[in-house]
Structure 1
Amino acid sequence: MTDTAEAGAGGTPPDITVTDDATMRRAVGAAAVGNITEWFDFGVYAYLVTTIENNFFPPDNPTLAQLGTFLGFAVSFLVRPLGGLFFGPLGDKIGRTKVLSITVIMMAVGTFLLGFIPPYSAIGIWAPILLILCRVVQGFSTGGEYAGAMTFIAEYAPDRRRGFFGSFLECGTFIGYALGATVATVIPLVSTPEFASTWAWRIPFFIALPLGIVGVYLRVKLEETPAFQTLLNESEEREGQQAGEGIKKLFVRYWPAMLTAGGLVVAWNITNYMLTSYMPTFLEDNVTAVGGQAIDTTTSQVIQIVILWIGVFIIPALGMLSDRVGRKPLLITGCIALVVLAFPMLYILQLGNVLAVTVGLAVMGLILVLFAATCPSTLPAQFPTEIRYGGLSISFNIFVSAFAGTTSLIMTGLVLGTGWGYWPAVYLIFAGLVGVLALLKLKDPAGRPLPGSNPSVSTPEEARELAASGTAARG
């Protein structure tokens, strides 16, 4: 149950939001399931790169097929800012739950339909065209999904536990990707080569639709977030507000917040896509092209999957730690580690030794979870309630699309084009430096109310204590 200011007569002090643990668990589950759906698709796509190349592109040009496959990955990011521009302001106007219900089913349908596309041998050029169209649908919906989910959890979470609850959103990311990668890895091992290359690889894409239906069910069952409901109660004119007004206000007044958020997004997501999207290809194909030693493909995949599953358990612990020590100490540690460890990581990943590859991927994974555990609670705190969904959607997707979503495409082109295997290290160092610059402007939001929102606590007793202390002021 969520009590807001109107519940003051029942024992809760006015202007303090109380969200009990049961409601918070439902909110986290509703938000995380969309992330699981999104990243299940990315995990399947990343681990079926070779199969997608063979099915959807001409067989006589393997380099073109590989670049075309990564273009299919990148194009979903190129349309994400458009999704953010559409869904973000809409979420600030009609509510978080309605928009998030739309985005999760769009993502699931786009992934589901990808599994039905006939191969290049059957329909020729229409195979890659349909692949791109499915990726466009996925990318457009994702433009409103992830930032909306961050907003949703942040607005439900108590101020002193926002880092902990927000971190579960990234648990959804790791679970979804690990599930997709696991399914994509296991299917060829348990089916005949002929079936694996024709129909078995399509099964993971079909699984996305049931996941999306579960996501819609969980989201429509929840009330609107307390912060947004309070905003509606305070502004009867809100129904007439035009989405364009919020966008104009965002770019005119809150562009510093957009840059701060964008810098953190760059550091976080370049690391993310380097590990989850490019490393499978680098270790399987690109490493030998630059004079390095490859390890068995299945072994490499298993190592990455194990690291992701371990990350699922580390992330909430780091989220809880960020509630105690603040977000900035963990974020600055991640940024410095990128700068210092990028070249050593890439060196040992090229040795062809299973232990060395495990260490290299584990270090990259540990750096990633420092960002993953803290950014979902840090980024929503950069914007006030009335433009939070739109501000976060637009800034998040612009920077992801420009710098992170194209990681695989850019790295493949640079590594294969130059024969130098350390371009990923250069890009990771760039990400770390951008993150450091963003952190110079960041005011640590740990333990504080969200801007424009009432203080939020877990129990009525905490609310009364906060009111008695005289510190129950809006963020």
Structure 2
Amino acid sequence: MSPQRSATPTRPPARRLEVTDVIVVERKKMRTALNGAFVGNFMEWYDFGIYGYLAITMHHVFLSGFGESLGLTLALLGFAVSFLVRPLGGLILGPIGDRVGRQKVLYFTMAIMAAATALIGMLPTAEQLEGWWGPGTGVWVIVPLYLLKMLQGFSTGGEFAGASTYVAEFSPDRSRGFWASMLNTGSYLGFAAGASVVAITTVSVGPDAMLDWGWRIPFLIALPLGAIAIWFRMRIPETPSFEAAAETENAYTDPRDPRVRHGLGGLVRYYWKAILIGIAIVAAEGTAGYALTSYMPTYLENEVGVSNLQAAVATIPVLVVMSLCLPFIGKLSDRIGRKPVYFIAVGSTLALMVPAFAILQIGEEWAVFVALAMVAIPVAFYVAMTASALPALFPTPSRFGGMGLTYNIAASLFGGTTPLFANLLVDATGNKFMPAFYIMFFSLIAGVALLAMAETGKRPLLGSVPTVSSKEEAQQLVDGQDANPFIDTNTMPLPVLFAAGKTGE
């Protein structure tokens, strides 16, 4: 999907940019917006972290009546089922965000996520249920567990799509990769926080108490964390790009014009190429990312013989270091472009994944640490790009809906199901390297898709006016617009064009 579109006969005539047209986002306002998006993603991945590291505990607490193998599969299915409803959240919340604004939807998704996570910590165990209702009834606890995981999935269907859209629209064009990469810094720090809470709780209360009542603590901590996140979300402003597009949305009627807002049908019809490219990239990112974060605890315990606590101790520093590297990778993409960084991600996945799983088989703490660090390298190059490259595939009036559709389809089918499918592949083949081959397969597909993706670095977002960080930069951009290949006013919602469109009717 090219970010520059030539004029069509039905569009009003283009004009030169003026300084007053350019959006200037001051650093203080940018930080406020970023903090609001950051805490939400932190909270979302905190939940993934605690459930991923408590998957075997969840099996014993809720699903022991199903037997060892089936019970563990059902515990991992609880993780996957939340992803299966993510497209529904994206399909509903994305278009709403394009209609009423990003900030309102982000506030809503945060409240649902915090409540659902805390409620999991209040569920009765299978043993308690049988004590109340009689033998054999404990298996029914799986119903409220899955329903709450589905509620989480619905909220996250709008959460990441909305947060990445929000941060991308607030970021200056020349530094969007840097600012947007911090969103996933929050994501993986949230996962590391979840793993840390599980590890600290396990050490503090002991393994027996952990199975009895200690497992509830990480889930209940979601209540105060959620309250803090909601407070931040209440303070964030709406994006200037959305407000500018909303003011002029009735001026354009050509459905091919990037200033026209589309529902789901229009998105699929006019932006199907962008959707397919995005799905391929997110599938590659998701399989690698969720293998590192959500599947590794189960794999290490079942296939390598490493305890849950040892896995957490090895994973936490890897995730923290990886998270802190993301802004540097984002800054690199501002310099060399998004596509070259994505190709680094693809190449490092193909080169490192099999050696990493080979080193895992050693089973020593140092080997686990080294192997996880190797897996984290391609993950870092993928996730650093997500919030800057993917929103740029879609025009501003339809960006939230496009991201909600694209990201959640891929995350649901290929990302969140990674722990389940990887475990099934190992069980079916007896080959402990199957997760590596699974991850590499999707990176190959992403590499092919990248060939069809247009470079979006250093450019205004499609359907938006330029965004800069100072008035001086705005003046420089306007003065040099004739020689700037990234400026195309035919795709920008300029107020004078609105008036021209009206008088031409």
| Distance in 2 separating the partners of 1:248 and 1:459 | 38
Matched, 1:269 2:286: yes
Cα offset, 1:296, TM superposition = 4.4
Name the counterpart of 1:307. Answer: 318
1:408 to 404, 419, 423: 419
Number of aligned residue pairs: 455
Cα offset, 1:418, TM superposition = 2.0
Aligned residues: percent identity?
Answer: 41
Name the counterpart of 1:344. Answer: 355
Aligned to 1:235, the other structure's residue is in SS state helix
Name the counterpart of 2:127. Answer: 121
1:249 to 261, 266, 277: 266
Aligned to 1:125, the other structure's residue is in SS state helix
1:395 to 406, 412, 432: 406
Which has the greater radius of gyration? 2
Moved more, 361-370 or 415-424: 415-424
2:468 to 423, 434, 457: 457
Moved more, 261-270 or 145-154: 261-270
Q: Could you list the per-position Cα deviations for residues 240-269 of structure 1 after superposition, in whole angstroms to 9, with x for gaps in the alignment?
A: xxx995111101110000011111101111
1:440 to 442, 451, 454: 451
Aligned to 1:451, the other structure's residue is in SS state coil
Matched, 1:187 2:201: yes
| Distance in 1 separating the partners of 2:289 and 2:102 | 26
- Backbone CA RMSD of aligned residues: 1.8
Matched, 1:21 2:27: yes
| Distance in 2 separating the partners of 1:296 and 1:79 | 31
| Distance in 1 separating the partners of 2:377 and 2:311 | 17
- Amino acid across the alignment from 2:316: I
| Distance in 2 separating the partners of 1:206 and 1:350 | 35
| Distance in 1 separating the partners of 2:33 and 2:236 | 7
Matched, 1:167 2:219: no
Cα offset, 1:237, TM superposition = 8.5
Moved more, 385-394 or 120-129: 120-129
Name the counterpart of 1:86. Answer: 92
Q: Could you list the per-position Cα deviations for residues 387-414 of structure 1 after superposition, in whole angstroms to 9, with x for gaps in the alignment?
A: 1000111011111111111111111111
Cα offset, 1:60, TM superposition = 6.2
Unaligned runs of 5+ in 2: 1-17, 130-137, 253-259, 492-505
| Distance in 1 separating the partners of 2:109 and 2:66 | 38
- Amino acid across the alignment from 2:458: G
Aligned to 2:413, the other structure's residue is in SS state helix
Name the counterpart of 1:208. Answer: 222
Name the counterpart of 1:286. Answer: 303
Moved more, 368-377 or 156-165: 368-377
Aligned to 1:448, the other structure's residue is in SS state coil
| Distance in 2 separating the partners of 1:113 and 1:134 | 8
Matched, 1:58 2:64: yes
- Amino acid across the alignment from 2:183: L
CA contact (8 A) 1:76 1:136 kept: yes
- Amino acid across the alignment from 1:369: A
2:37 to 27, 31, 39: 31
**What is the TM-score of this pair, normalised by structure 2?**
0.87
Aligned to 2:24, the other structure's residue is in SS state strand
| Distance in 2 separating the partners of 1:266 and 1:171 | 19
1:98 to 93, 96, 104: 104
Aligned to 1:449, the other structure's residue is in SS state coil
Name the counterpart of 2:171. Answer: 157
Cα offset, 1:337, TM superposition = 1.5
- Amino acid across the alignment from 2:399: R
| Distance in 1 separating the partners of 2:192 and 2:425 | 27
Aligned to 1:199, the other structure's residue is in SS state helix
Q: Could you list the per-position Cα deviations for residues 287-310 of structure 1 after superposition, in whole angstroms to 9, with x for gaps in the alignment?
A: 3xxxxxx34442222111110011
CA contact (8 A) 1:454 1:473 kept: no
CA contact (8 A) 1:150 1:380 kept: yes
| Distance in 1 separating the partners of 2:169 and 2:208 | 49
Aligned to 2:215, the other structure's residue is in SS state helix
1:138 to 131, 135, 152: 152
CA contact (8 A) 2:246 2:397 kept: no
Cα offset, 1:444, TM superposition = 1.4
Aligned to 1:232, the other structure's residue is in SS state helix
Aligned to 1:218, the other structure's residue is in SS state helix
Aligned to 2:19, the other structure's residue is in SS state coil
| Distance in 2 separating the partners of 1:35 and 1:446 | 23
| Distance in 1 separating the partners of 2:119 and 2:66 | 26
Q: Could you list the per-position Cα deviations for residues 331-375 of structure 1 after superposition, in whole angstroms to 9, with x for gaps in the alignment?
A: 101101212222212111112233322221101111111111112
- Amino acid across the alignment from 2:223: L
1:77 to 78, 83, 94: 83
Name the counterpart of 1:353. Answer: 364
CA contact (8 A) 2:103 2:238 kept: yes
Q: Could you list the per-position Cα deviations for residues 170-193 of structure 1 after superposition, in whole angstroms to 9, with x for gaps in the alignment?
A: 011111100000000111111144
| Distance in 2 separating the partners of 1:283 and 1:411 | 13
CA contact (8 A) 2:174 2:468 kept: yes
CA contact (8 A) 1:157 1:165 kept: yes
| Distance in 1 separating the partners of 2:207 and 2:199 | 13
Moved more, 29-38 or 122-131: 122-131
2:237 to 223, 226, 246: 223
| Distance in 1 separating the partners of 2:55 and 2:90 | 27
Aligned to 2:457, the other structure's residue is in SS state coil
CA contact (8 A) 1:335 1:431 kept: no
Name the counterpart of 1:3. Answer: none
